[in-house]
């Protein structure tokens, strides 16, 4: 028997909507009737073969996570289906430990949209940075979906002050309504940007940096953090995404002469059970904390029309029905 799915036939090509064989679960797997799956940078990267976690086995159904129903009717968020099956299909198969029950009050579309970026922020702040209540957090690249969630999550976890950076002045202004206490525009020139960062490090200090950009702004931020944290407690710099570039230039003396702690957060740096725990905790907190995320729903049948242009804000969520 077949099912409708978004299928990648060649790396780098747009997925096509068509027929794919239905999955049959193994002994440690469960079949899920998919209701919603979000389009993320990770999903696109794996589909194109460019992301480091891509399997390279084709043809395959696209999609790394989603929301659906177990055979007993329970709603779950699931992630990392077993290749060649993905989340953007009527059905998929998942190892049981990769299914997380959804709390009441969180609808399928919102859950599908918020799970991946919310988990990345939650894991970075709790499992890598070990954020403590009363500390100050700087989110570098806070105007994107994950960055906006990081601002909200930092406040929910008890951050005393949240500093948000971004390249869009209009989007930056909106962050005040969801928890940002200070905003820094990244397009003001390297010299002015360095001074802005230095002022924040010198005034009340910064305990944790969550970086979604890397590239030029991270270079300036790392230098400011090294200088600003020299006589203070270690500054935990957590690298999560590379929206502005894959490389930075960093002199070795920056690390030798400072208390800066530089670490990554993502698939590979956190064990699977840690990712599951972070996702479960974040989904529960999303209801209590009223986390906000903008979404747009699109029928899966239209994936070929929007694949290359969709992304960013609002978060695109494909629905099967």
CATH number for the domain whose boundaries are 116-264 = 3.40.50.720
Could you identify the residue written with the tokens 């928890």? 179
In sequence order, the β-bridge partners of residue 315 are 295
**pLDDT value of position 56:** 54
**pLDDT value of position 50:** 44
Collect all residues with Cβ–Cβ distance below 8 Å to 1 and sequence separation of at least 6. Answer: 21, 22
> Alpha-carbon torsion 161, 167, 170, 171, what sign?
negative
**pLDDT value of position 78:** 97
Query: 203 falls in which pLDDT band (50, 70, 90)?
Result: confident
| Model pLDDT for residues 38-97, shown as the tens digit of each residue | 998 778 877 765 443 445 578 999 999 999 999 999 999 999 998 899 999 999 999 999
Residue 226 pLDDT exceeds 90: no
Query: What mean pLDDT do residues 236-245 have?
Result: 93
| Model pLDDT for residues 46-56, shown as the tens digit of each residue | 776 544 344 55
Name the residue ranges covered by the structural domains of the chain: 2-101+291-319, 116-264
Query: What mean pLDDT do residues 167-183 have?
Result: 97
* The domains spanning 2-101+291-319 and 116-264 adopt the same CATH topology: no
Query: 238 falls in which pLDDT band (50, 70, 90)?
Result: very high
Alpha-carbon span 75 to 68, nearest angstrom: 6
Average pLDDT, the chain: 92
**pLDDT value of position 232:** 56
Of 308 and 103, more confident: 103
Contact 220/147 with Cβ under 8 angstroms?
A: no
| Model pLDDT for residues 282-293, shown as the tens digit of each residue | 999 999 999 999
Q: Which CATH number applies to 2-101+291-319: 3.30.450.20, 2.60.120.200, 1.10.10.10, 3.90.180.10? A: 3.90.180.10
**pLDDT value of position 229:** 59
Cis peptide before 316 (omega within 30 of 0): no
**pLDDT value of position 48:** 65
Residue 103 pLDDT exceeds 50: yes
**pLDDT value of position 288:** 95
Query: What mean pLDDT do residues 243-264 have?
Result: 88
User: Which has the closest alpha carbon to 154: 166, 172, 140?
Assistant: 140
Residue 315 pLDDT exceeds 70: yes
pTM exceeding 0.85 = yes
CB atoms within 10 A of CB 191: 9
């Amino acid at each position: 028997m077949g099912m409708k799915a978004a299928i990648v036939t060649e790396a780098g090509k747009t997925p096509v909507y068509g027929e794919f064989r239905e999955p049959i679960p193994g002994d440690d797997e469960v079949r899920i009737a998919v209701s919603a799956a979000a389009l993320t940078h990770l999903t696109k990267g794996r589909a194109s073969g460019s992301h480091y976690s891509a399997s390279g086995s084709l043809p395959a159904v696209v999609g790394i996570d989603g929301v659906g129903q177990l055979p007993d009717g329970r709603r779950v968020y699931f992630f990392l289906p077993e290749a060649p099956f993905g989340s953007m299909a009527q059905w998929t198969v998942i190892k049981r430990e990769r299914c997380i029950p959804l709390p009441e009050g969180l609808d399928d579309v919102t859950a599908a949209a918020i799970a991946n970026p919310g988990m990345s922020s939650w894991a970075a702040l709790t499992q890598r940075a070990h954020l403590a209540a009363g500390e100050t957090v700087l989110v570098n690249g806070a105007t994107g979906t994950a960055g906006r969630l990081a601002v909200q999550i930092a406040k929910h976890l008890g951050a005393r002050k949240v500093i948000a950076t971004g390249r869009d002045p209009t989007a930056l202004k909106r962050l005040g309504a969801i928890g940002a206490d200070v905003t820094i525009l990244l397009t003001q020139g390297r010299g002015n940007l360095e001074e802005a960062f230095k002022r924040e490090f010198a005034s009340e200090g910064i305990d944790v940096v969550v970086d979604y950009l890397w590239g030029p702004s991270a270079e300036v931020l790392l230098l400011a953090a090294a200088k600003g944290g020299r006589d203070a407690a270690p500054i935990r710099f957590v690298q999560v995404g590379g929206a502005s570039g894959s490389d930075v230039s960093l002199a070795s003396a920056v690390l030798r002469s400072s208390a800066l702690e530089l670490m990554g957060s993502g698939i590979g740096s956190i064990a699977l059970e840690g990712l599951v725990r972070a996702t479960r905790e974040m989904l529960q907190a999303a209801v209590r904390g009223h986390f906000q995320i903008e979404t747009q729903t699109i029928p899966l049948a239209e994936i070929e029309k929007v694949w290359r242009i969709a992304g960013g804000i609002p978060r695109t969520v494909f629905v099967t029905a």
